[in-house]
């Protein structure tokens, strides 16, 4: 039985603004017999200033949801909002500018441009917009992510954890409304993963950053304020203020 | 393993196709050249076979002098020999032939044809009966006195119709005739594009030879049952000294051979450009295979780790190259037929009208084009394939290794040595007159520069790209960093362009230097005010009457006509061309820098010699040089002077009186004029122009105009070479498009990331284009550097006046670089488009 989670999790807009919203989001790949409904009518709000984790077994649609929320992929039907902007009405260029200005990204791998050094990678979205970085903010980010001595290095000269922290700094440099992270700890050893997750919490708590994170890792999800579980393109469960045990139980129930 | 190679080749059809394009273009040009030259040769062969179809024997003078660029001048024989020949029993028919320079004037008043560059324009006597090679297409009456028949091609060109009164120019000046017929030769309206007038024998002798009762030869037909050889033998037995008889077969072959010889230069010229195209194509193949091998290294390593031997990997790669070579060569071969067509039109556009009827597609063309195409592809792929075979199995689980070639000492040394040896061979070949060394030296220089390329690519891209971040922000910076990240690839991608640019730059420098030289030489040597010239160089010219008429003008102080001829230099055992002058006036209008003797003192049995020639052979004033002239007479000429300036005078100068005695047609190739003092420019010019206006093939120019047009003489050839080098540049642009497309493919994830974090499609396209600009500029700068070296050494060799005797045309060189850059931007359009259209999600999708 699919729960209508929106009823439970949706809060009145006057209490806490939703940073992003999906309304009856449907994504179908292919057509006819071979059609796959990757998203099967998802409606969900993501609260501002919170870290939300999306979990689910492989093929549950969690990455597709993230991509559609970030304007990287287009819905078959339904709508996606970043703030008040309906992404389904935007052109490719408008979407690109929206990603550049209002969204940050951290991916599992290949997060950095190999030909640019750490500072250049961090400020890349600003440079693409032809803007300069706010030195104080940059300083704050670099300090918070412990990157001070690695700024002139190229990605190939950085450890995996350092690379991912550079990516995190890049994601925050424009002070975006929202950061999307796709398995950010997937390629990291546990120490680096812990560091990154702790820094993410700092970003949420100290800077009021909104983060949506897709992950397989229940330990990573346990850092979230809220975990949403997907299966077969639908939201099947959610846990507020999760614990490792709660998450693992739910995953077991889902057979993941 | 073969199956794997085949499958991997077919799996990447598009890549195969785009790589094959370069070799396809090269093969198409090679095949096109072969088809084209075969076609011309066959056209001429058929023509002369037709012309001499009914000729069993030909009688002619046994004295001939060969000219520099094919062709010969042969003496004439007395008409009286006809009677002797007709007296031989085996002779059924004997007809005299007379031919000479003639140019038909079209209805618009302009002479038809351009004998200086294209097919000859001439007149001959009309022979009737079985020996006539022509048939009427309009009219039917053989021309009588005051009448002419012309070839149908010229009639169409000049809009001339039977019944018109037309003007024909000959050595005796313009004459008017009634056009009584148009003829064609076999199936050809105008054989070889030539323009031909036909007169009766008396008229031909009158207007072509100035009334001499002489003929060029006699064509003879045998009575039934007598063989060519028998007939020829019989005739030879009764001929006086100084004449020879040859069979119809022999004269056909001889004529065909002389055409083939004359074509030989052109043939070689075209094949050189085909070779350049193929060299550039091989660089392209090499580059593409290198990129493919590095992109596929995981696949190779996987094959190796599951047990494929090195040899198997190598063979698989070569099989792929071979397959590509076969496909590309076959397509190129077919395209060659169209290229032949294009070549013909291109040459026609540059003023070299070459006939071609019915495409000749020989087995040789097919074999050569296929062998060269496949061979070049495989050779170019050998090194990348060897590299592929050396990929260790472990690479399958490792990340692709970084390119460290940016600072290889080994590369610096070997590349430097090859470049230096190539440059040395080039210069040595030039000074030694060994053209094959020049070619090999140029090739080695390019290969050396190609090897050194990766060393300069990174610093080069840094310097060239330095202003980019300021100009275009992060987009330009990304472009610059991408150009720097793989210096080997950047160098190879720009390297093909380097070759084309180097050759274009070299030709530009040589052309500028030669023009400068011509301007200098004429400016210093010509001391008069006006020149009347004709473009019919070496094939007839101005009637000497023109100079006489101008000399009679009161506005003119001095006039002198210049003629050219050829004779056998018996001491040197070589045929030599000479200039014939009027000693009284020539020296006062033209300063050839006499260091011994004076032009005024040149007598009919004297000769002036250039100082280089004199020094080389130890000739001094007072020496006697025997020359055998076209009339078969050997004259001992006394050296009466030595001069230094040979740009226009050539190695030998004789008197016009002597030239007239040798019985050849008398034409002035140019007439130099100085106006009388106190006469205004306008008056003098008007008076001379009044005379030359009546001579359609005369070109009247002031001193400045003359110098300009002499300098401009190199233009058609230079333009033709630019056109042909366009091919190499085109192939190198294909290379840029190819490499960029492969790089984009390789950078899919990186581009996706950039797009995800906010790079717009427009910015993506701009970044790719800027990268192409950097690569093109790198190739162009290297190319221009090499081109300057080539151009300088060739210019200096031609002029032979010290190492500074050359011109560096800065603006044209900048323009060349700009054109290369624009070409590269166009080549990058598709890769840029693909980069911008790339699926962003693929970057994020985890493996």
Distances (CA, A) of B448 to B426, B455, B488: 13, 12, 14
Ramachandran category for residue B604: left, alpha or beta (phi over 0 → left; psi -120 to 50 → alpha): alpha
Instruction: List, for residues B272-293, the tens digit of each pLDDT value.
Output: 888 888 888 888 888 888 887 7
Residues of chain B with pLDDT > 70, as a percent, come to 91
- Residue B214 pLDDT > 70, yes or no? yes
Within 8 A by CB and 6+ apart from A13, the residues are none
Chain A CB contacts of B746 below 8 Å: none
Task: Work out the angle between the directed axes of helices B761-799 and B829-837 (0-180°, nearest 10).
Answer: 160
Supply the pLDDT for residue B543. 82
Rounded mean pLDDT of B85-98? 89
Which residues are CB-contacts of B136 (< 8 A; sequence separation ≥ 6)?
B149, B181, B182, B183
User: Phi and psi of B80, rounded to 5°?
Assistant: -60, -20
| Greater model confidence, B493 or B19 | B493
- Give the DSSP H/E element, type plus range, for residue B175: strand B173-185
Residue B580 is inside which H or E element, if any? strand B574-581
Say yes or no for a CB contact (<8 Å) between A105 and B840. Answer: no
Per the CB < 8 A criterion, the answer to whether B416 and B452 are in contact is: yes
Do the Cβ atoms of B757 and A128 come within 8 Å?
yes
Residue-level pLDDT at A9: 37
Q: Which domains does chain A have, with CATH numbers?
A: 47-74+85-254 (3.40.50.300)
Which of A93, A113, A133 should one mutate to test binding to chain B, selecting the residue with the greatest count of B CBs within 10 A? A113
Average of per-residue pLDDT values in chain A = 85
Per residue in A56-80, pLDDT tens?
888 888 888 998 998 888 899 999 9
The answer on pLDDT for B260 being more than 90 is no
Q: What is the DSSP letter of B414?
A: H
Q: Looking at residues B674-702, what average pLDDT do you find? A: 87
**Closest chain A residue by Cα to residue B757:** A100
The pLDDT tens digits of the residues spanning B12-64 come to 666 667 778 888 888 888 898 888 888 878 877 877 787 788 889 999 988 88
Q: Which of A13-17, A190-194, B61-65, B592-596 has the lowest mean pLDDT?
A: A13-17
B544-576 residue pLDDT tens: 888 899 989 998 899 999 998 889 999 888 888
A15: pLDDT confidence band, cut at 50, 70 and 90?
Answer: very low
Contact status of B470 with chain A (Cβ, < 8 Å): no
What is the rounded CA–CA span in Å between residue B738 and residue B281?
12
Which helix (H) or strand (E) is B532 found in, with range?
strand B530-533
Contact between residue A246 and residue A239 where contact means Cβ atoms under 8 Å apart: yes
In angstroms, what CA-CA distances link A18 with A67, A105, A172, A233? 18, 19, 19, 21
Of B491, B488, B492, B283, residue with least CA distance to B380: B283
**CB contact (8 A) between residue B474 and residue A128:** yes
Query: CB of B484 within 8 Å of any CB in chain A?
Result: yes
Report pLDDT for B339: 86
pLDDT of residue B352: 57
CA nearest to B56, candidates B231, B210, B209, B294: B231
Other CB atoms within 10 A of residue B818 CB: 13
pLDDT in tens, A223-244: 999 999 999 999 999 998 888 8
Distance between CA atoms of residues A110 and B674, nearest Å: 82
Cβ–Cβ < 8 Å for A222, A252: no
Cβ distance B376 to B326 under 8 Å? Answer: no
Nearest-angstrom CA–CA distance, A86 and B665: 92
Beta strands in B592-669 (DSSP E): 594-596, 606-610, 624-628, 634-643, 652-655
Size of interface A-B (CB pairs under 8 A): 87
Q: Which pLDDT value is given to residue B542?
A: 83
How confident is the prediction for chain B on average, in pLDDT? Answer: 84
B723: CB partners within 8 A, 6+ apart: B346, B350
Residue B484 has pLDDT above 80, yes or no: yes
Helix, strand, coil shares, percent, chain B, to 5: 60, 15, 25
- The confidence score (pLDDT) of residue A11 equals 36
Average of per-residue pLDDT across B782-787: 94
Q: How many CB atoms lie within 10 A of CB A148?
A: 9
Confidence of residue B119 (pLDDT cuts 50, 70, 90): low
Please answer whether residues B698 and B534 qualify as being in contact, where contact means their C-beta atoms are separated by less than 8 angstroms.
yes
Q: Where are the alpha helices (DSSP H) in B693-714?
A: 703-711
In our burial notation (b when 16+ CB lie closer than 10 A, e otherwise), range B10-39 reads eeeeebbebbbbbbbbbbbbbbbbbbbbbb
Report the SS3 class of residue B96. strand
Read off the DSSP letter of residue B54.
T
Contact with chain A for residue B475, Cβ under 8 A:
yes
Angle between helices A160-173 and A135-144 (to 10 degrees): 150
Summarised one tens digit per residue, pLDDT across range B630-642 is 888 899 999 999 9
Contact B761 A110 (CB under 8 A): no
Residue B363 neighbours by CB under 8 Å, 6+ apart: none
Name which of B610, B528, B517, B520 is nearest B569 in CA terms.
B610
Q: Do A72 and B750 touch (CB under 8 A)?
A: no
B610-624 pLDDT, tens digit each = 998 899 889 999 999
Cβ-Cβ contacts under 8 Å, A96 against chain B:
755, 758-761
**Per-residue model confidence (pLDDT) at position B406:** 47
The pLDDT value given to residue B295: 75
Q: What is the largest CA-CA distance in chain A?
A: 56
Interface contact B847, partner A, CB < 8 A: yes
Q: Does A48 touch chain B (CB under 8 A)?
A: no
Q: Which residues on chain A are in Cβ contact (under 8 Å) with B757?
A: 99-100, 105, 124-125, 128, 170
SS3 of B536, please? coil
Mean pLDDT of B245-250: 91
Judged against a pLDDT cut of 60, whether residue A2 lies above it is answered with: no
8 Å CB contact of A113 and B753: yes
Q: Give pLDDT tens digits for B394-446.
A: 665 555 444 554 457 888 888 899 999 999 999 898 888 788 888 899 999 99
Asked if A95 has any chain B CB less than 8 Å from its own CB, the reply is: no
Asked if B847's CB is within 8 angstroms of A67's CB, the reply is no
Return all residues near B26 (Cβ < 8 A) that are at least 6 apart.
Answer: B274, B277, B278, B280, B281, B332, B373, B376, B731
Q: Where does the pLDDT of residue B199 fall: very low under 50, low under 70, confident under 90, or very high at 90 and above?
A: very high
Instruction: Flag if B473 and A120 touch (Cβ within 8 Å).
Output: no
Residue B777: burial class (beta carbons within 10 Å; 0-12, 13-18, 19+): buried
CB contact under 8 A, B758 and A109: no
8 Å CB contact between A169 and A125: no
Contacts of residue B360, Cβ cutoff 8 Å, sequence gap at least 6: B35, B38, B39, B41, B42
Burial class (CB in 10 A: 0-12, 13-18, 19+), B363: exposed
**CB pair distance less than 8 Å for A128 and B761:** no
Is the CB of residue A81 less than 8 Å from the CB of residue A71?
Answer: no
How far, in whole angstroms, is CA A144 from its chain's centroid?
Answer: 19
- On whether the CB atoms of residues B454 and B488 are closer than 8 A, the answer is yes
CB-CB neighbors (< 8 A) of A91 in chain B: none
Backbone angles phi, psi at B764, to 5 degrees: -60, -45
What is the end-to-end Cα distance of chain B in Å, rounded?
28
Residue B348, CB half-sphere, CA atoms under 13 Å: how many?
Answer: 11
Render chain A in DSSP notation, one character per residue.
----HHHHH---TTTS-EEEEEEEEEEEES-GGG-EEEEEEEEEEEETT-EEEEE-STTSSHHHHHHHHTTSS--SEEEEEETTEEGGG--HHHHHHHHHHHEEEE-SS--S-TTS-HHHHHTHHHHHTT----HHHHHHHHHHTT-GGGTT--GGGS-HHHHHHHHHHHHHHT--SEEEEESTTTTS-HHHHHHHHHHHHHHHHHH---EEEE-S-HHHHTTSSEEEEEETTEEEEEEES--HHHHHHHHHHHT-
**Which element (helix H / strand E) includes B303?**
helix B297-305
Alpha-carbon distance of A47 to B621, in angstroms, equals: 109
Mean pLDDT of B221-234: 90
Q: Which residue has the higher pLDDT, B654 or B17?
A: B654
Chain-chain contact of B844 with A107 (C-beta, under 8 angstroms): yes
- Mean pLDDT is lowest, of B533-542, B653-662, B710-719, for B533-542
Question: For residue B653, which phi and psi values (nearest 5 degrees)?
Answer: -125, 130
Q: What is the Cα–Cα distance from B82 to B751, expressed in whole angstroms?
A: 88
Q: Where along chain B do its domains lie?
A: 1-55+252-401, 99-215, 456-526+705-847, 544-694
Q: What is the CA radius of gyration of chain A?
A: 18
CA distance A226 to chain B (A): 24
Are A67 and B473 a contacting pair at CB < 8 A? no
- The closest alpha carbon to B736, from B398, B483, B403, B535, belongs to B483
Q: What percent of chain B has pLDDT over 90?
A: 23
Q: What is the pLDDT of residues B793-839, one digit of tens each?
A: 988 888 777 677 788 899 999 999 999 999 999 999 989 998 888 87
Residue B422 pLDDT: 92
Q: pLDDT digit string (tens) for B150-192?
A: 988 889 888 999 999 999 988 777 889 999 999 887 666 776 6
Write out pLDDT tens, residues B388-406. 888 777 665 555 444 554 4
Kindly provide the residue ranges of all beta strands, DSSP E only, lying in B13-158, ordered along the sequence: 57-61, 64-66, 72-74, 77-78, 91-97, 99-101, 103-105, 121-125, 134-138, 147-151
């Amino acid at each position: 039985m699919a729960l209508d989670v929106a009823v439970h999790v949706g809060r009145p807009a006057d209490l806490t603004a939703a940073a992003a919203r999906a309304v009856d989001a449907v994504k179908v790949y292919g057509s006819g017999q071979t059609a796959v409904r990757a998203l099967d009518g998802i409606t969900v709000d993501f609260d501002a200033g919170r870290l939300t984790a999306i979990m689910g077994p492989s093929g549950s649609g969690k990455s597709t949801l993230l991509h559609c929320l970030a304007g990287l992929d287009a819905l078959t039907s339904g709508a996606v909002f970043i703030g008040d902007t309906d992404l389904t009405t935007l052109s490719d260029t408008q979407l690109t500018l929206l990603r550049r200005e209002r969204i940050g990204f951290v991916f599992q791998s290949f997060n950095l441009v190999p030909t640019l050094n750490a500072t250049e990678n961090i400020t890349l979205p600003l440079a693409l917009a032809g803007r300069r970085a706010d030195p104080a903010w940059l300083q704050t980010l670099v300090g918070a992510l412990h990157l001070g001595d690695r700024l002139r290095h190229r990605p190939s000269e950085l450890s995996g954890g350092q690379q991912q922290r550079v990516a995190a700094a890049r994601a925050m440099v424009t002070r975006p409304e929202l950061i999307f992270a796709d398995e950010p700890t997937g390629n990291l050893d546990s120490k680096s993963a812990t560091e990154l997750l702790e820094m993410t919490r700092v970003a949420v708590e100290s800077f009021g950053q909104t983060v949506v994170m897709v992950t397989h890792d229940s330990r990573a999800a346990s850092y979230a304020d809220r975990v949403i579980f997907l299966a077969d393109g639908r939201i099947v469960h959610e846990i507020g203020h999760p614990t490792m045990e709660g998450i693992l139980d739910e995953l077991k129930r889902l057979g993941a | 393993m073969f199956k794997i190679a085949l499958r991997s080749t077919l799996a990447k059809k598009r890549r195969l196709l785009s790589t094959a394009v370069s070799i396809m273009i090269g093969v198409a040009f090679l095949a096109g050249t072969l088809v084209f030259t075969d076609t011309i040769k066959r056209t001429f062969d058929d023509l002369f076979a037709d012309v001499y179809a009914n000729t069993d024997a030909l009688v002619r003078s046994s004295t001939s002098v060969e000219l520099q660029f094919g062709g010969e001048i042969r003496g004439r024989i007395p008409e009286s020999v006809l009677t002797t020949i007709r007296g031989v029993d085996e002779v059924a028919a004997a007809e005299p032939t007379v031919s000479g320079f003639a140019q038909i004037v079209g209805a618009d008043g302009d002479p038809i044809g351009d004998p200086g560059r294209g097919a000859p324009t001439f007149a001959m006597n009309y022979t009737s009966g079985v020996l006539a090679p022509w048939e009427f297409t309009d009219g039917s009456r053989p021309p009588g006195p005051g009448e002419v028949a012309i070839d149908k091609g010229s009639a169409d060109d000049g809009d001339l119709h039977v019944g018109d009164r037309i003007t024909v120019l000959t050595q005796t000046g313009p004459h008017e005739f009634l056009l009584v017929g148009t003829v064609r030769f076999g199936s050809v309206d105008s054989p070889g594009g030539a323009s031909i007038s036909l007169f009766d024998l008396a008229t031909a002798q009158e207007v072509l030879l100035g009334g001499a009762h002489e003929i060029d030869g006699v064509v003879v037909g045998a009575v039934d049952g007598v063989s060519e050889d028998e007939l020829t033998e019989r005739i030879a037995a009764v001929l006086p000294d100084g004449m020879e008889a040859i069979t119809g077969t022999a004269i056909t072959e001889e004529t065909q051979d002389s055409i083939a010889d004359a074509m030989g230069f052109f043939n070689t010229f075209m094949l050189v450009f085909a070779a350049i195209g193929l060299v550039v194509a091989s660089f392209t193949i090499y580059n593409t295979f290198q990129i493919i091998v590095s992109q596929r290294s995981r696949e190779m390593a996987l094959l190796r780790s599951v047990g494929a031997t090195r040899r198997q990997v190598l063979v698989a790669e070569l099989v792929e190259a071979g397959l590509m070579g076969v496909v590309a060569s076959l397509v190129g071969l077919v395209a060659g037929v169209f290229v032949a067509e294009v070549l013909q039109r291109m040459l026609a556009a540059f003023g070299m009208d070459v006939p071609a009827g019915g495409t000749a597609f020989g087995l040789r063309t097919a074999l050569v084009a296929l062998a060269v195409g496949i061979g070049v592809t495989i050779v170019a792929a050998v090194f990348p394939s060897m590299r592929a075979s050396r990929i260790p199995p472990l690479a399958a689980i490792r990340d692709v290794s970084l390119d460290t070639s940016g600072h290889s000492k080994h590369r610096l040394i070997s590349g430097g040595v090859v470049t230096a040896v190539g440059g040395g061979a080039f210069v040595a070949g030039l000074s030694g007159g060994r053209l094959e060394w020049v070619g090999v030296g140029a090739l080695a220089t390019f290969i050396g520069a190609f090897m050194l390329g990766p060393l300069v690519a990174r610093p080069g891209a840094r310097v060239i790209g330095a202003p980019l971040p300021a100009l275009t922000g992060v987009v330009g910076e990304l472009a610059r960093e991408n150009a720097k990240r793989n210096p080997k690839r950047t160098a190879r991608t720009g390297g093909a362009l380097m070759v084309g640019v180097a050759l274009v730059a070299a030709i530009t420098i040589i052309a500028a230097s030669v023009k400068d030289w011509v301007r200098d030489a004429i400016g210093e040597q010509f001391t008069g005010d006006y020149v009347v010239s004709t473009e019919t160089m070496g094939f007839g010219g101005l009637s000497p009457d023109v100079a006489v008429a101008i000399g009679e003008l009161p506005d003119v102080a001095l006039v002198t006509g210049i003629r050219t001829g050829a004779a056998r230099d018996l001491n040197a055992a070589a045929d030599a061309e000479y200039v014939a002058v009027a000693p009284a006036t020539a020296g006062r209008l033209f300063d050839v820098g006499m260091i011994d003797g004076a032009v005024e003192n040149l007598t009919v049995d004297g000769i002036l010699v250039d100082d280089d020639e004199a020094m080389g052979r130890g000739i001094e004033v007072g020496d006697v040089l025997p020359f055998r002239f076209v009339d078969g007479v050997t004259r001992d000429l006394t050296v009466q002077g030595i001069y230094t300036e040979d740009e226009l005078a050539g190695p030998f100068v004789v008197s016009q009186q002597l030239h007239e005695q040798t019985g050849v047609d008398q034409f002035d190739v140019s007439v130099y004029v100085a106006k009388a003092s106190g006469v205004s420019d306008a008056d003098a010019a008007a008076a001379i122009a009044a005379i030359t206006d009546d001579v359609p093939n005369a070109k009247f120019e002031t001193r400045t105009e003359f110098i300009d047009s002499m300098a401009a003489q190199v233009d058609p050839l230079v333009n033709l070479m630019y056109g042909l080098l366009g091919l190499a540049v085109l192939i190198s642009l294909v290379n840029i498009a190819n490499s960029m497309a492969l790089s984009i493919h390789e950078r899919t994830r990186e581009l996706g990331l950039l797009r995800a974090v906010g790079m717009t499609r427009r910015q993506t396209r701009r970044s790719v284009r800027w990268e192409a600009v950097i690569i093109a500029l790198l190739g162009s700068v290297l190319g221009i550097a090499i081109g300057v070296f080539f151009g300088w050494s060739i210019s200096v060799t031609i002029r032979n006046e010290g190492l500074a005797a050359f011109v560096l045309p800065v603006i044209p060189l900048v323009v060349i670089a700009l054109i290369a850059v624009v070409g590269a931007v166009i080549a990058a359009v598709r890769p840029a488009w693909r980069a911008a259209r790339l699926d962003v999600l693929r970057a994020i999708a985890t493996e």
